[in-house]
């Protein structure tokens, strides 16, 4: 059983998948930092000093100055600002993946279209004749168009 597991774990596909997951997690952290630290502050300034990470709806009756205070107090909140940041994260990752897949598809060679046949075989003498022929030039048999 241990040998089977080792064989499974050492297959190329499993190792490739593990490497992809690790790189994907690191890329996710980079995108999150890009959104939170670079993209959202200018958008917040444009929208009037809004910090999206601090946008929330307080479901308890008590007022809190920030989301951190509400969390520390254990208040129930709907954190729609964090949700907006997460949606922007997703859109950036999806766009980057789109660009990568688009480029990979350009690199892969497309198979040449199948050549349209220009000849057919005479059913009587088995020689190649033009598709539009109605009589075989070799055996002079009449050919019926199908």
In this structure, are 16 and 41 located in the same domain? yes
In this structure, are 83 and 120 located in the same domain? no
Single out the residue of 18, 39, 43, 41 nearest to residue 30, CA to CA. 39
pTM (2 decimals)?
A: 0.54
Query: How many other CB atoms are found less than 10 A from the CB of residue 6?
Result: 9
User: What pLDDT is recorded for position 101?
Assistant: 83
In this structure, are 62 and 81 located in the same domain? yes
In this structure, are 92 and 121 located in the same domain? no
What is the residue range of 91's domain? 12-107
Burial of 69-96, coded b for 16+ CB within 10 Å and e otherwise, reads: ebeeeebebebebbebbeebbeebbeee
Examine residue 5 and state whether it is found in any structural domain, yes or no: no
In this structure, are 24 and 67 located in the same domain? yes
Examine residue 1 and state whether it is found in any structural domain, yes or no: no
pLDDT digits (tens), the chain, 146 positions? 888 877 776 766 777 788 888 888 888 888 888 887 888 788 878 877 777 778 888 888 888 888 888 888 888 999 888 898 888 888 888 888 788 888 888 887 777 788 888 898 988 888 998 988 888 888 888 887 65
Q: How many domains, in total, are found in the chain?
A: 2
In this structure, are 87 and 42 located in the same domain? yes
Examine residue 3 and state whether it is found in any structural domain, yes or no: no
């Amino acid at each position: 059983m241990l040998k089977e597991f080792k064989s499974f774990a050492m297959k190329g596909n499993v190792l490739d998948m593990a490497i992809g997951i690790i790189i994907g997690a690191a890329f996710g952290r980079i995108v999150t930092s890009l959104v939170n630290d670079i993209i959202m502050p200018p958008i917040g300034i444009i929208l009037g000093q809004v910090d999206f990470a601090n946008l929330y709806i307080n479901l308890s009756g008590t007022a809190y100055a920030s989301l951190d205070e509400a969390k520390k107090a254990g208040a129930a909140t709907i954190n729609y600002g964090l949700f907006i940041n997460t949606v922007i994260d997703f859109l950036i990752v999806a766009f980057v993946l789109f660009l990568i897949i688009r480029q990979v598809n350009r690199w892969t060679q497309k198979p040449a279209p199948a050549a349209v046949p220009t000849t057919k075989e005479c059913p009587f003498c088995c020689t190649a004749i033009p598709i539009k022929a109605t009589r075989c030039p070799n055996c002079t048999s009449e050919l019926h168009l199908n």
